[in-house]
Structures are given as C-alpha cells and as structure tokens.
Amino acid sequence: MEKKNMDWENIGFGYRKTDKRYVSEYKGGRWDKGLLTSDANVVLNECAGILQYCQEIFEGLKAYTAKDGSIVTFRPDLNAERMMDSARGMEMPPFPKEKFLEAVDQVVTANISWVPPYGTGASLYLRPYMFATGPVIGVKPSDEYQFRLICTPVGPYFKGGARPLTLCVSDYDRAAPRGTGHLKAGLNYAMSLHAYVTAHDAGFDENMFLDPVTHTYVEETGGANFLFVTKDNEIVTPESNTILPSITRRSMLYVAEHYLGLKVTERPVRLSELPDFAECGLCGTAAVISPVGKVVDHGKEICFASGMEKMGPVIQQLYDLLTGIQLGTTEAPEGWIRKIIDKDQIF
Ligand code: PLP
Ligand code: COI
C-alpha cells in the first residue's frame, strides 16, 4: 500500500479528509451493526439534539507506525471505557467497548496509506464521537444518536514541537463544580473557547484553569492535564473531580513509578506552590507531554527551573519512555499496545 505523498515531518495538527470513516446509528433502543463510508458529510434534522442542547461526547487516540513496521494503537480500551462513562454522564447510550475497538481497527486498516511512517514524529489521530441526531425541542435527551470515528494524520499539537510553552492563569472557569468537567463532552470545549482566544490574543500558548470554587488550586488546560516535577525529582499531579482523567497522565505516572522508580503523588496542587516545582508539563494524546517554561499569573511571572529553551530532564525522560512504548522501541506494560496491522501484512 502506497503512503500518501506528504511532508510528514511538517503536517501540523489539523483536519485532513481521509478515505474512510466508521458510522453506527442508534435507533429504536439499539446500535446498528455499523459500516465504513467514504461520505464525510453528516445530514441532520434541523431539531437534532446536538444542534439544540449540545448532546455530544468524543474521544481522542492515535495510531502509530512502530519501529518494526506494524501499526499499533495505545490503550484504546481506556478510551472506549471513558467514552462509555461520558455517555452515561450525558444521558446517551454507551457505545459498547468491543464495537469501539472494532471501529478503531476498521478505520485504521481502511486508511492505512494515511498512517504516517515511523520516525516522522507524526501519527494518525483518531477521533471517535457521538451526537444526538433525534429531534428534541423540550429539554430532554434525544432518542437517536450517531457514533462516528474519523481519522486525520497529525504532527505536534503545539507549534514548534518541544518548545517550552507560556501559560496564563485564566480568569475564566472551564468546568462547574459537580458539572461535566470530568467528561469528554464537546460543551466543555465550547465553554473554553473564549478563554482560549483571549489568552492567545494576549500572546499566551494556553490557559491554566483553576478550581471553579476557590480559584486557588490548579486544574488543567483546555486540552491537557498538568504534571509537575519537584526539585527532589518527585512527580506531582493535580487531583480534582472537575478535570478529565487523562489516559496519558495515568500512563506517565505508571512509567515514572515503574520505569524510573520515582515517587508519584496525586493531590490538590495550590497555585501558590508553583514556584516550588522544577519542571512542568502538559499531558494528553495530542500534547503527548509538552513542557511548560512559564506561567503568568496576572502579570506575576512564575518561571520553572527547566527554562524556556528545552524540556527539563525528567519530563524528557518521561517523553522518551512513553513515545518509545508507543513506537515499540521500549517494552510496553502488558496490554498497553493493540496491534492492528502486523508488519507482514503491509506491502
Ligand atoms: N484534559 C482535557 C481537557 C483534554 O481534552 C484531554 C485530551 O484528551 C486531556 C486532558 C488528556 O487526556 P488523554 O491523555 O486521555 O488524551
Ligand atoms: C486529545 O488530546 O486527544 C484531545 O482531545 C485534546 C484536544 C485539545 C485535541
């Protein structure tokens, strides 16, 4: 199978229409058997629940070409489970895990020529999502839904790759207490857009959102969780029930503890503690682990010892290990890698 002719090292993080996507419809209380289609358009009733009351959830994961030439995904079972949790929280019918994994396999296999080659730093981003298609006008959940899984090749999420980022402490809240912050629902991201544009216009890469009750604890950014390294090389990550439980963060904590022998703590992190940390990173599927050099809190600069030139040493080690696991150059913990296409099947 010929790869697409692209400048894989410089593709950026954006949408490109690929060949096939998977679609399954929920009607009459059950999911249909699902199919692959070339049609990239969605036709909706004007009163569909997604258009009226924003009933939508999504996921993000990547497929990689491993060093041995096979094509793999990283912990897709956790994305399937989190999507089922998001569905329950949004009164939507969970899409079964086995069907989710089957859809991932089908979409990657059908778009094999779009999977970036090994060594380019790029990967195939998979975006499963589900939205209310049935008409509603009173405020209530829809009776009908569509699950869709699309893919697009991507490079690093932040321009400049591993360049340390500058964040600003946001004046806005990303999620409400006892709201939907722990779910991967599109409405959380809609809420963060004004804050994102405001931060960008002021020259910042991203926001640091604080807890919505006291505004004294660190939460997350619009699309990634925080991970801090103390001056004694311990890993600290914010504990909060209004942030998304990142699969990358959970994996990094495991790697830090079991591969590097570091002490790992998940606890509430005060904004006032930031000057005590040596390194800071943003972790997520898109962000991988992106270093943060500086956080600006209403004019007050908090600079991490790792500086603005490169990743700090611990974050660099975590980055190397995690990407090594994903690309098959470092041994993965049991069950983390799902091989979709063996190297012998690629011609
Ligand atoms: N936090 C938010 C708000 C996100 O959108 C994401 C991205 O998925 C993450 C954290 C990181 O989660 P994961 O590592 O599962 O991609
Ligand atoms: C991901 O990392 O997969 C996300 O969904 C975050 C988004 C900001 C791209």
pLDDT tens per residue, range 259-269:
999 999 999 99
pLDDT at position 2: 85
136 residue type, one letter: V
Burial per residue of 75-91, b for 16 or more beta-carbon CB atoms within 10 angstroms, e otherwise: bbbbbbebbbebbeebe
Q: What are the Cα distances from residue 206, in Å, to 203, 242, 256, 337?
A: 9, 18, 25, 30
DSSP 270: B
Q: Helices (DSSP H) in 164-312: which residue ranges?
A: 186-201, 247-258
Question: What are 42's two structure tokens?
Answer: 């969605």
Q: Is the pLDDT of residue 245 over 70?
A: yes
* DSSP secondary structure code for residue 19 in this structure: S
The predicted-structure confidence for 109-148, as pLDDT tens digits, reads as follows 999 999 999 999 999 999 999 999 999 999 999 999 999 9
Has residue 159 got a pLDDT over 80?
no
Cβ(128) to ligand 2 under 6 A? no
Closest ligand (CA of 284): 1
Ligand 1 contacts (CB < 6 A) are 60, 220, 223-225, 244, 246-249, 283-285
Q: Is the pLDDT of residue 347 over 70?
A: no
Phi, psi of 141 (to 5 degrees): -70, 150
pLDDT averaged over the chain? 96
CB of 156 within 6 A of ligand 2: the answer is no
Residues sharing a CB contact under 8 Å with residue 44, sequence separation 6 or more, in sequence order: 50, 51, 133
Residue 1 has pLDDT above 80, yes or no: no
Cβ(25)–Cβ(146) below 8 Å: yes
Is the model's pTM score more than 0.85?
yes
pLDDT at 162: 76
